[in-house]
Amino acid sequence: MARDERAAIARHIYARHVAHAAAVDEAGLRSALEVALAVIPRERFLPTGPWHLARPSGGYLPTPDDDPVYLYQDVPVAIRPEGHLNNGQPSFLAGLIARGRPARGMSAVHVGTGTGYYTALLAALAGEEGRVFGIEHEPELAALAAEALAGLPQVRIVAGDGAAMPLPPADLILVNAGAARPAEPWLDALKIGGRLILPLTAGPLPGTPVTRGAVFLIERRDARHYAARCLSPTLIYPCAGARDPEAERALARALAAGGQDSVRSLERTDTIPEDRCWLRGPGWCLAYG
């Protein structure tokens, strides 16, 4: 069997497993994810093989050669193993996208595009009638993503600080890096009914830049009000533009105390009473009830 044929078979099997894990109770979305994952070559968005596959126990397992069949597993794959920078776990990232309720024709923003694999997934779900704006802090990675996604007219990739630049109005914003606070441009860009997938993370794992915390789903209800709930714990690379020591210390205290599962709203004010506030910063608060 030819290598390309073997990889295509592996990709279809992988797509079914990942889509099921990402959207187990939503048949329509599960089908859309499976179709998209089955046609996006993961190897296009990675360095030349052999590759380094992340191990659950830590570290990496090198593949014996550059056969792309090894990439069609539900594991992170290193982009830069020495810096712990990965193309993240497919079921986790596809699951976060699923929780943001993607739809054809949507306008999506991907903060932390990396080399573009999950931007390609957003683009496939949005369709040619949609729009996807990808932002990557590192110019070298942004250039790789732009090259890999050049054939998709609905996608635009820029290099820059995704926590500081003005963003187009969005139905879905995926922040694919750990922030210590919600950035104003993300909240401003959400349309009414728009969803923000927001990992909030504090200190790094020992010996790595990878930060730990929790992922929140933020949904804009009207001009000033946002629903919020915690989706899951996370380990994720830090978001360079949305971190500062004071915000990290406050978040670390909140995570250590627990209670994130009881968060129900994000308020764009810092005057919420202490007993209602899980985490606050200048001009905002994640609140209970």
Q: Do you find a cis peptide bond into 233, omega within 30 degrees of 0?
A: no
Give the pLDDT of the chain (289 residues) as one tens digit per residue. Answer: 788 899 999 999 999 999 999 998 889 999 999 999 999 999 999 999 999 999 988 899 999 999 999 999 999 999 999 999 999 999 999 999 999 999 999 999 999 999 999 999 999 999 999 999 999 999 999 999 999 999 999 999 999 999 999 999 999 999 999 999 999 999 999 999 999 999 999 988 888 899 999 999 999 998 889 999 999 999 999 998 899 999 999 999 999 999 999 999 999 998 999 999 999 999 999 999 7
For residue 144, the model assigns a pLDDT of: 97
Q: Is the CB of residue 123 less than 8 Å from the CB of residue 143? A: no
Q: Is the CB of residue 241 less than 8 Å from the CB of residue 183? A: yes
CA nearest 205: which of 179, 237, 233? 237
For residue 3, the model assigns a pLDDT of: 86
Q: Is the CB of residue 221 less than 8 Å from the CB of residue 192? A: yes
- How far apart CA 129 and CA 151 sit, in angstroms, is 15
The three-state DSSP-derived secondary structure of 62-76 is: ECCCCCHHHHCCCCC
Distances (CA, A) of 28 to 20, 52, 171: 11, 33, 19
- How far apart CA 115 and CA 138 sit, in angstroms, is 10
Residue ranges, comma separated, of all CATH 3.40.50.150 domains in the chain are 77-288
- H-helix or E-strand spanning residue 19: helix 3-22
Sequence-separated (6 or more) residues with CB below 8 Å from residue 139: 159
- How far apart CA 228 and CA 267 sit, in angstroms, is 9
For residue 283, the model assigns a pLDDT of: 93
Q: pTM of the entire structure?
A: 0.96
Distances (CA, A) of 66 to 4, 50, 70, 71, 117: 12, 4, 8, 9, 18
Q: Is the CB of residue 178 less than 8 Å from the CB of residue 239? A: yes
Chain-centroid distance, C-alpha 121:
11
| Model confidence pLDDT, tens digit, residues 24-47 | 888 999 999 999 999 999 999 999
| Structure token digits, residue 80 | 């830069």
For residue 98, the model assigns a pLDDT of: 97
Q: How many CB atoms lie within 10 A of CB 232?
A: 13
Domain spanning 77-288, CATH architecture: 3-Layer(aba) Sandwich (3.40)
| Structure token digits, residue 171 | 């139905």
For residue 285, the model assigns a pLDDT of: 96
For residue 224, the model assigns a pLDDT of: 82
Burial of residue 24 (number of CB atoms within 10 Å: 0-12, 13-18, 19+): exposed
Q: Is the CB of residue 43 less than 8 Å from the CB of residue 49? A: yes
